[in-house]
Structure formats: C-alpha cells, structure tokens
Structure 1
Amino acid sequence: MRAEDDDSQPAAGSSDATVGQMLRRLHQRQSRVLDLGQIYGLTRPQFSVLGAVVGVPGVDQRGVTTATFVDKSTVADIVTRLAEKQLLVVSRNPDDLRRDELRPTPAAIALVYESAPLILEGNERVLSPIPLAQREEFLQLLRATAHAGRTEVPKDYVNPSPDGVRPPINVHWGLGRLLRGSLQRHGRLWSRHVPAVTHVQWLALSALLGGTDIDQRTLGELISLDKASLTDMLDRLARRRLVRKLRDPADGRRRVLRVTEEGRDLLDRVAPLVREVDADYLEPLGPEQRSRFVRGLRRLVEADADDGGAPAGAPTLVGGVS
C-alpha cells in the first residue's frame, strides 16, 4: 500500500505524530504507569519473562521470546538474572539435551499472581482516554498489527494459585507485550524502508530541526534516551556530518546541537519513506480500521502530553520534517 492512498497518514510537517512515534510514546507511558520496579525490584521485560514462565512451566527460551516479544539475547540475560534471584530454575530438557527448561519457583508464582491486579489496573489507566466502548476494538487492532506476519501467535496463559485457595488468573495479552510486538514490527519495516538512518536517529534529527539551542540533556529528555546511548548515537551522527556540536555563546560551558545541511538533506530525502513505513505498518487493517486505530493512538498520546509525559517540543508531536 502506498502512503498517499491512506488519508490517516499525516503529511510531513504536520502537527500530528507518525504512527511509530505514537507507539513509542505509548509504550513509554505504559512503562511509567507500571513502574513495578519500585515495588518488586524487577524491570517490565523481567516481569514479562517471569509471567511467561509461570504461565507455561517448562518453556524454553525460544518459547519465552515468542510469547513476550523480548529479543533472544535479552531473554537470555533476563533468565540468568531471574535465576540468580531464585525466581527461576533452569534445567536441561531430558528429551532434548540441546534445550533448557525454565520453571518458576514458589516465590515467582506468588509474585506474578500478586502483581497481576496492579498490571491490569495500570493498563486500564493508560487506556482510560479511550471510551470504554471503543477500548476492546483498539486492543484488537493493536493485536492485529503486532501479530501481522507471525507464524506463531502466542495464546493466553493462566497464573496458577500460589496457595491452592485463591483462584487462578487467566492472563490475556497484556498491553506492554502488544506494544513491544508492534514496535518490533515497526522497527523491521523501518529498516527495510529507511536504511539510511535508524528510527531513534531520525527522532533525534527531527527534534533538533524543530528546536533551537538544544543541548544533549534536553535532547535526551525529548526522545527519552539515556545518556550513554545518546552520547554514542550523537558521536555516530557527528562522524556522518549530520549533527555538529557548538559552544553556546551565552554560556561557554554549554554545548548545543545543530543539524547540518547534510542532516537536513537526509531528513528531506527520507520524509516520504517514513510515511511509507507507517502505511505498511497499518496494511493489515482496513481503511476505516486504520483511521480509528490512528485516532485512538493520537488520543492516548495527547493525554500523555496533557499529563506532562511528553516534554515540550518532543518530536512525538511532530509529524515528520518541516
């Protein structure tokens, strides 16, 4: 499908965010609302991996990757960390010595069971800007785009009772997992259509183009990237002569970032390709579904900005290059 055939796609320079930007912002909002690390000391991906193992005891790492949309290398690292915390037991599969079996400890079962209501409540808070009558359809459309092209579509699973008294909890596909799956698919499409620059690099260049006298700390806040990752990315962009660092004439200790002419030319060249990525991402949906899905995403992003989640000038509110 061509971008110009879909009226739900924002034109370059409009005030609307691209679909990829909105998905990223929604995932960030969901992570902020569900900051379970403060309660349980685990990250959201760790919780997702743990939940998958609790729901399917004996699953291997490949099965966890399929079920959670967490990449293979990250799953391997998480499994090691959870085993160190005595939440997982890793053993060799007796029927296939090339595979490991992952099983939860009683502490893991209790933790996942007790956190489930908090996760459900948090997801409801994230989705609350969408009217209740439209919420299920939005999740169905998100599921359709996240699962598009997958040969293995994971099923729901059940959290067992931790004590044999409380009833098991049926776990439907969580918002976080759907958003991770959507972002993974969007990332694959981006790599196919826009090989000249990564999505995060494009976000950075767009943010710098849309603002003045932005320093590294401010840019990190605008695109929600940690200092170490941002420094490495800016070094790469500087080596490609797409960004330069200048001393702030008003404060000699401060350096500001500017997009070079080469950077502006690159943004101009990839602008139509960015719209093609979004158009291909929405391809599994019908025209009316695409419009409703984009409206739902936009409503959630605007609610995030109203809550102070998106810093002023964040590129999530810029629909491309101007």
Structure 2
Amino acid sequence: MSLTDEEREQGEAQSRMLRLHTSPGHLIRRSHQMHTALWTEEFDGEVTGPQYALLSVLTAGSMDQRSAGQSASLDKSTAADVVARLERHGWLARQRDTRDRRRYLLSLTTPARSALRHITPRVAEVQRRFLEPLSPDGSAWFAAALARVAYRGEPPALPEDADASFALPPAKAPGHLLRRSEQLQGVYWTEHVGSLLTSPQYALLTAVAWNDDIDQSTAGELASLDKSSTTDVIARLVRRGLVTARPDPHDRRRKLIDLTAEAREVVERVAVAAELVQRDLLAPLAADEVTRFVSLLEVVAYRRPLLRAEHPLLN
C-alpha cells in the first residue's frame, strides 16, 4: 500500500524530531531526576543537593554570598533561599564585609563542620548508587566527561588541601554536574528556540508524535515529567491549539493525546534548533567521545545495567 502525500510528509517531519531516549538534553534531565530520587531516599529533607553544594564550596574558607552561590551553580534567588535556610539551621554564619558593606561574607559554623563529616560519606554513597549501572572504568570516564560538559571545558581546579572525605567538591559530584548541565541546556534552549516552545513542551509533543494512541500519563512518563507538570504542560498546549485530548474508548478514565496539524508544523520548525541545543551542550567533547557519553548517559538515565554486556562502549 503506497503512502499518501500527507502521510509521507508526516513521516519526513517525524524523522527530524529528536528521539528522547537518545537526546542528551532529555537524558541529562532524566538522569538528574534519577539522582534526585536517590538523594531524597537517602536524606529525606535533611539536607538538599543545593544546600550541600553551598556548604562544600565554603569548606575552603569564608566567601561572599554572590561568589559562593556562583561556585555552587545557584542563581541569585536560589542562593538567597539556601543561605537563609542554612543560617536558620545554624550551619552558616553571615556577616557584612568590612571592606564592602554591600556584601555579606559566609562561613561554616562548627555544627556545620561536624555535620559534614557525617553527611559526606552518605553523599558519596548516593553518587556510587547513581553510577552503579556502569563499570568502574565507565563511571570514572563518564564523571570526567560530564564535568567537561557542565563547565563547558575543564572544571575548576581543586584546592591542594581539598579533602573529599570531608566535603565532596561540586565539580566532582555527578548530581551537581547534572544540575549544572541541565541549567546549560536551558540557556542553549532559550538561545536557539526562544519562546516558541519550552523544552518540556517539546519533549511531550515529541513523545506524542512518536507514539500513536498515547494517553496523557504515558506521554508524561516518556517526556520525564511528573504528574503535576504533565497536566500543566498539556493544559497549556491545549490552549495553544497544539494538542487535543479525547477520552479513551477502552478506559474512560484515561485521556488520549493527539497532535494538531499546527503542532506538527511547530515541532518541525523547532527540530533544527533543538539539534543545535544538543550540539552546543556536547561541544566540549570530541566527536568520538560523544557516542560513548550519550550511551553511558542513557544507561544511568534509564537504569539499564544489562546494556553493558551488549555495548562495548559502556565499559
């Protein structure tokens, strides 16, 4: 049976869309979610990743709040919130800089230093569990490559007296590197795609485009969105006329999602820009390193340890 012109055009447009399970930006976001789940399981609100990152950078000595936030890869608003919480917890001391009254200097308190000696081994265990699907050589290579992606080249050098058993430096922590890489992906997305579609919207539209008769919940899972985010993204796309939702004839509790003709045009327009985002994100890696990095990223993102035996690049 021959294809109609419309079917042929849809097939060509679909072939230009990113496949989420091999898209670096999506895999980094999903990997970060996996890491966050492991972190939450271990700490359950006791300390967050951003809080630990800030504590870690301050082990080298007092630092002004702006510089500390930048070293921990926190934006100004997030840094202010993290500092306030840690100060209330008694783990941070904050005082005005005598040389510049507009600045605040941050330093660790004695309770914070004591807590770090107990927290850091648990942080290291989270990192170990996160990289567990990879071989030892593969995990070491992956962490080093991820650091180059996160810092757009070589990560900052560690102080000579840095003690990783006391505080794991952010540049050596996969969770921090994933968060920083995800931030970069957002910067590149804004640069190349702009406001036409957000990255989560594109991921969901792509998930629907690659799967016929897909329900809302499954589309959200494929796009690595939680239930609340999925509902919000679909509602926005419905209002824009990019998707339609209809009851599943076999299960009236489910809604099936379809792309509109306008959505297919928008996704096709974004496809080239989305590829540029992936290119820029992996620019610090050599061409022959990209394949290995993406393969390893897919393993940690989807927790597929069995792939090691199937793919030599994963070792």
Shift of 1:124: 2.0
1:3 corresponding residue in structure 2: none
The number of aligned residues is 289
1:241-320 aligned at under 5 Å gives the runs 241-252=241-252, 254-304=254-304
Alpha-carbon distance in 2 for matches of 1:170, 1:230: 34
1:105–1:176 Cα change, 3 Å: same
Is 1:178 aligned to 2:180, yes or no? Answer: no
1:1-322 aligned at under 5 Å gives the runs 12=17, 16-35=21-40, 38=43, 41-53=46-58, 55-148=59-152, 154-156=156-158, 168=166, 171=169, 173-195=172-194, 196-211=196-211, 212-215=213-216, 217-252=217-252, 254-304=254-304
More helix per residue: 2
* Runs of at least 5 residues in structure 1 that lack an aligned partner in the other structure: 1-9, 162-166, 308-322
Contact 2:133/2:304 (8 A) holds in 1: no
User: CA offsets, 1:92-115, max 9 Å, x none?
Assistant: 111111111122222222222211
Q: Secondary structure at the match of 2:47?
A: coil
1:257–1:29 Cα change, 3 Å: same
Contact 2:120/2:168 (8 A) holds in 1: no
* Runs of at least 5 residues in structure 2 that lack an aligned partner in the other structure: 1-14, 308-315
Contact 1:156/1:173 (8 A) holds in 2: no
Q: Secondary structure at the match of 1:90?
A: strand
Using structure 1 for the length normalisation, give the TM-score. Answer: 0.77
Amino acid at match of 2:87: A
Shift of 1:73: 1.2
Alpha-carbon distance in 1 for matches of 2:292, 2:298: 10
Alpha-carbon distance in 2 for matches of 1:232, 1:88: 37
1:41–1:255 Cα change, 3 Å: same
Shift of 1:246: 2.8
Alpha-carbon distance in 1 for matches of 2:198, 2:157: 32
Shift of 1:12: 4.1
Moved more, 232-241 or 72-81: 232-241
Alpha-carbon distance in 2 for matches of 1:230, 1:220: 5
Shift of 1:18: 0.5
Contact 2:17/2:268 (8 A) holds in 1: no
Bigger RCO (CA 8 Å, 6+ sep): 1
Shift of 1:39: 5.1
Contact 1:58/1:101 (8 A) holds in 2: yes
Q: Secondary structure at the match of 2:283?
A: coil
Alpha-carbon distance in 1 for matches of 2:182, 2:149: 10
Contact 2:147/2:177 (8 A) holds in 1: yes
User: CA offsets, 1:16-50, max 9 Å, x none?
Assistant: 42111111122122222222664562222222223
Amino acid at match of 1:237: L
1:178–1:38 Cα change, 3 Å: closer
Alpha-carbon distance in 2 for matches of 1:224, 1:40: 22
Amino acid at match of 1:190: W
Q: Secondary structure at the match of 1:130?
A: coil
Q: Secondary structure at the match of 2:298?
A: helix
Alpha-carbon distance in 2 for matches of 1:76, 1:266: 38
1:146–1:288 Cα change, 3 Å: same
Alpha-carbon distance in 2 for matches of 1:108, 1:60: 18
Residue identity (%) = 31
Amino acid at match of 1:197: L
Using structure 2 for the length normalisation, give the TM-score. Answer: 0.78
Moved more, 229-238 or 79-88: 229-238
Contact 1:113/1:160 (8 A) holds in 2: no
